[in-house]
Amino acid sequence: MSIVNDAKQLAQGLVENVVSTAVALAPDSWIPGGVPDPLIAHRHGHVGKPISRVDGALKVSGAAPFAAEIPVDGVVFASLVYSTIARGRIASLDTRQAEAAPGVIAVMTYQNAPRMKSPPAFLSAPKAAGGDDAPVMQDDKVRWNGEPIAVVLAHSQEQADHAKSLVHASYESEAALTDFAEARARGSKTGLFMGHALHDEIGDADAAFGESAVTIDSHFTTPRHNHNAIELHSVTANWTGDKLRLHDASQLVAHTSWSIAQMFGMPEENVVVTSPFVGGGFGGKCLWQHQILAAAAARLVNRPVRLTLSREGVYRMVGGRTLTEQRVALGANAEGALKALIHTGTVAKTARNALPEPFILPARSAYASETMKLDVQTVELDMLSNTFMRAPGESVGTFGLECAMDELAAKLGMDPIELRLRNEPEKDPLSGLPFSSRNLAEAWRSGAERFGWSRRKPTPRATRDGEWLVGVGCATATYPYYRMPGGAARITLSADGHATVEIAAHEMGMGTATAHTQVVADRLGLPLDAVTFLYGDSTMPGVVLAGGSQQTASIGASVTAAHRALVARLIEIAGNDSPLAGLSPDQVGGRDAGLSHLEEPGRHETYASILSRSRRESITVEANAPDPLETMHWSMHSHGAMFCEVRVNTITGEPRVSRFLGSFDCGRILNPKTATSQFRGGIIMGLGLALMEETQFDERNGRIMNPSLAEYHVPVHMDVPDIEVMWTDIPDPHAPMGARGIGEIGITGTGAAIANAIYNATGKRVRDLPITLDKLM
């Protein structure tokens, strides 16, 4: 990321600050969500029912088509060669042997790759999708250990993979900075996140900390992580004339289309990206070099190209979560009221990307501390650009903050839940905005009762079961409500009363199509089988990122806008013969497969009747969602109370989670069945973060040393206990459908709850993740 871009981001941030002040002061009714979504009051429809996934039968029968599985005639297969130095230039690249190998069509390197602009890095423009802005195979420079340096194209994958081993490269190395401690010693700078400096202060926190009656000052480290979606990244690039079609595994099809169009200097509409099913994303299925290389290679050989990364390839060229070093210093009075909250630290990024892991985000709204100092420093390493991974910031930030709160509670001799409730803020501690809906205390109360928290023994090492020490712990989970600009949707209503919604959104397992089929059915007053929800195609309306747990809100607001346009259009074509004549769109709602007056439900006409009377086969409307001003008017966050029981082996130190409960306050739950899976999924990834996950980055040469699902441990069945989840189900009056996103909150707080339970079991505070057995022996 260049200085120019940094400045651009900063300027954009300043404008936003001015706007946000104005929005904060505006009357509620001017703001999206100012008038609660009518669906919130609608309690007897499809929303809130545990409906099985609409695509379930396809998935369990292996018939759901993932990116690598779309048949394309004449497709050729690609295999990549990766650099083995962290920084320097390619001195020689001998491809002759590879080119002569059986089945090989061509070898693409920087010497023959089509000329392209650099990818626009994510957050540098509204539709920028790139993991970073490094040129893609355009020069002889090497920027990280594992950068692709050649693409071998052959008639079969076996041939391409074999020929790849015949490409011979030599390098001129330059001094590379791959050691975090060394980078820190050279100096750091304040992180910039979405245009805002990652630095906040209220009062003089250092002074208040010094004067506090009870203090905790602890340091935490969290390692690099990889998303490790089980589906390998795969793309098929197919040019027809000057149009490019990508069959991709993507959580941002519209962004990808625009970004690739920028690179190749072509109109956005000429790049079509489809992604009907995604085999897990977690932040990792965005735009990296493989889509670009496939598109370039397909142009080079004038054939469709399929590029499926090997598992090693995913580690070499798709970024993961970066490492963090955190300090949490808490000062409180004897009653446990926070006087000072200091959360600072350093993270690594690259010069080419814009994501300093924002681990201070949880502290911004968690507690009512009199003073606060939050700061993220960044250093830049010669490595693969890091990126967002499930709850960037919150996942690792809650580890430091919520472990420190547990330490403070122990020092105060206070129940850790009581300490948290004592510091529950009445309004957003930093912005002063009112909370849209915050029921964390209720989540704690109901969760504690269900978990049996009152049976906890506060003294460590108090419970033993044979070889095992048993302990319990808790932590707060938190994740913001986001809704990004750019949402839009199209609704087509046909004469047989069937509605089809199209939006360039994504299904990576969250249950998007299922939940929104329910929502659309309720909004339009239709049965579920009269609704089709289409997504995963960049030609559809909307710029919708499946990230930031914002997709549900974005789709919800987009469909609301399109629905409003649809109602207006229907009233217009219904004409004076309709029972709806003379009503405004605000006075009617969807009901019984048609529209009806909200106050006189008898004034009703079916969609089929309206359309047939106006002699239309169908009508189509499209509308944009309003800008997400609600996030500047209210402080909008989801929360959870996380409870954990662990067992730690006294002989071997092996830690095992034996019980987990998450009690959530995330607004209205649209589908309890799929929501349960989302919450549990986050918790299980949090279990991995706590106990086993680490991307081994060799600081001597910047090489990732465990690019394998055998050596990078994610939790297996045997690691996962029965996980109970529950929720307040209190709608957020200012969010579409009353719902806040739920995809990421499960991973937050989990690491701390496990670490705190381990302390309760063993008396050991482990502040360095992952908590492996050697740290507990």
Partner 1 sequence: MITINGTGVPLPDDLRVTLLDLLRDGLNLSGTKKGCNQGACGACTVLVDGERVISCLALAVQYEGRSIVTIEGLGTAGSLHPLQQAFIDHDGFQCGYCTPGQICSAVGMMDEIRRGVPSHVTEDLASTTLTLSRDEARERMSGNLCRCGAHNGIIDAIFDARQEAAE
Partner 2 sequence: MNLFTYARATSAADAASKFQPAAKFLGGGTNLVDLMRETIERPTALVDVTGLSSAIAEGPQGGLLIGAAARNTKVAEDTLVRTRYPALSRAIVSGASAQIRNMATVGGNLLQRTRCTYFYDDEGSSCNKRQPGQGCDAIDGFNRNHAVLGASSSCVAVHPSDMCVALAAFDAVVHIQRDGQELKIPFGDVHRLPGDRPDLDTTLHPADLIVAVELPPLSFSARSTYRKVRDRASYAFALVSVAAALDIKDGKIADVRLALGGVAHKPWRASKAEAMLRGGPATEDAFRAAAAAELADAEPLSHNGFKIELARRAIVAVLVELAGVEA
Least separation in angstroms between CB 440 and partner 1: 23
Least separation in angstroms between CB 361 and partner 1: 22
**Please, which residues have CB within 8 angstroms of residue 60's CB and are 6 or more apart in sequence?**
none
Which of 83, 308, 377, 596 touches partner 1 (CB under 8 A)? 308
In three-state secondary structure terms, 324 is strand
CB closer to partner 2 out of 62 and 187: 62
Query: Quick one: which of 653, 678, 650 has its CA closest to 664?
Result: 678
Which pair of tokens denotes residue 741?
């996103």
Span near partner 1 by CB under 8 A; candidates 401-409, 525-533, 574-582, 703-711: 703-711
3-state secondary structure 599-664: CCCCCEEEHHHHHHHCCCCEEEEEEECCCCCHHHHCECEEEEEEEEEEEEECCCCCEEEEEEEEEE
Question: Does the protein bind partner 1 through residue 371 (CB under 8 A)?
Answer: no
Residue 547: name its binding partner from partner 1, partner 2, none (Cβ under 5 to 8 Å by kind). none
Where b means 16+ CB within 10 Å and e means fewer, 4-31 reads: ebeeebeeeeeeeeeebeebbeeeeeeb
Least separation in angstroms between CB 179 and partner 1: 29
Least separation in angstroms between CB 463 and partner 2: 18
Residue 722: name its binding partner from partner 1, partner 2, none (Cβ under 5 to 8 Å by kind). partner 1
Question: Does the protein bind partner 1 through residue 72 (CB under 8 A)?
Answer: no
CB closer to partner 2 out of 5 and 696: 696
Beta strands in 159-259 (DSSP E): 168-173, 189-190, 192-193, 196-197, 199-202, 214-222, 234-240, 243-248
CB closer to partner 1 out of 37 and 694: 694
CB closer to partner 1 out of 615 and 717: 717
DSSP β-ladder status, 655-665 and 723-727 = parallel
3-state secondary structure 732-750: CCCCHHHECCCCCHHHCCH
Span near partner 1 by CB under 8 A; candidates 29-37, 215-223, 279-287, 331-339: 279-287
Query: Quick one: which of 581, 596, 553, 498 has its CA closest to 42?
Result: 596
Number of residues in contact with partner 1 under rule CB under 8 A: 63
Question: Does the protein bind partner 1 through residue 508 (CB under 8 A)?
Answer: yes
Which residue in the list 407, 622, 630, 744 is annotated as catalytic?
744
Tell me if 253 sits within 8 A of 504, measured CB to CB. Answer: yes
Which of 31, 66, 87, 345 touches partner 1 (CB under 8 A)? 66
Which pair of tokens denotes residue 764?
């050991």
CB closer to partner 1 out of 188 and 308: 308
CB closer to partner 1 out of 358 and 682: 682
Span near partner 1 by CB under 8 A; candidates 150-158, 202-210, 467-475, 567-575: 150-158
Residue 588: strand pairing partners: 597
Tell me if 282 sits within 8 A of 156, measured CB to CB. Answer: no
Interatomic CA distance for residues 769 and 216, integer angstroms? 19
Question: Does the protein bind partner 1 through residue 552 (CB under 8 A)?
Answer: no
CB closer to partner 1 out of 291 and 674: 674
Span near partner 1 by CB under 8 A; candidates 268-276, 294-302, 347-355, 682-690: 682-690
Question: Does the protein bind partner 1 through residue 310 (CB under 8 A)?
Answer: yes
Residue 344: strand pairing partners: 327, 375
Instruction: Give the DSSP letter of residue 776.
Output: T
Residue 280: name its binding partner from partner 2, partner 1, none (Cβ under 5 to 8 Å by kind). partner 1
Least separation in angstroms between CB 696 and partner 2: 5
Span near partner 1 by CB under 8 A; candidates 121-129, 235-243, 275-283, 758-766: 275-283
The residue with tokens 């505070």 is: 765
- In total, the chain counts a number of residues equal to 777
Interatomic CA distance for residues 754 and 771, integer angstroms? 9
Interatomic CA distance for residues 659 and 41, integer angstroms? 35
Interatomic CA distance for residues 699 and 144, integer angstroms? 12
Site string for partner 1, 209-248 (x = CB under 8 A): ------------------xxxxxx----------------
Which of 24, 36, 45, 68 touches partner 1 (CB under 8 A)? 68
Least separation in angstroms between CB 648 and partner 1: 18
Span near partner 1 by CB under 8 A; candidates 166-174, 401-409, 536-544, 677-685: 677-685
Query: Quick one: which of 15, 539, 450, 69 has its CA closest to 258?
Result: 539
Residue 82: name its binding partner from partner 2, partner 1, none (Cβ under 5 to 8 Å by kind). partner 2
Active site residue 467: no
Residue 100: name its binding partner from partner 1, partner 2, none (Cβ under 5 to 8 Å by kind). none
Going from the C-alpha of 706 to that of each of 144, 213, 228, 576, the distances in angstroms are 16, 46, 12, 70
Which pair of tokens denotes residue 418?
């009581």
Residue 4: name its binding partner from partner 1, partner 2, none (Cβ under 5 to 8 Å by kind). none
Query: Quick one: which of 638, 637, 727 has its CA closest to 680?
Result: 727
Which of 98, 134, 354, 683 touches partner 1 (CB under 8 A)? 683
Span near partner 1 by CB under 8 A; candidates 135-143, 175-183, 521-529, 718-726: 718-726
The site for partner 2 (CB under 8 A) is made up of 82, 84, 102, 145-146, 158, 161-162, 165, 467, 651-654, 656, 691-692, 696, 698, 700-701, 703, 705-706, 708, 710-711, 713, 715-719, 772-774, 777
Question: Does the protein bind partner 1 through residue 696 (CB under 8 A)?
Answer: no
**Please, which residues have CB within 8 angstroms of residue 503's CB and are 6 or more apart in sequence?**
487, 488, 489, 490, 534, 535, 540, 541, 542, 544, 555, 558, 559
Residue 325: strand pairing partners: 221, 346
Residue 157: name its binding partner from partner 2, partner 1, none (Cβ under 5 to 8 Å by kind). partner 1
Tell me if 180 sits within 8 A of 323, measured CB to CB. Answer: yes
Which of 89, 115, 158, 334 touches partner 1 (CB under 8 A)? 158
CA dihedral sign of residues 716, 50, 494, 40 = negative
Least separation in angstroms between CB 57 and partner 1: 4
Catalytic residues: 744
Per CB under 8 A, residues contacting partner 1 are 52-53, 55-66, 68-69, 71, 156-159, 162, 227-232, 277-282, 308, 310-311, 508-511, 673-674, 676-678, 680-685, 708-710, 714-718, 720, 722-723
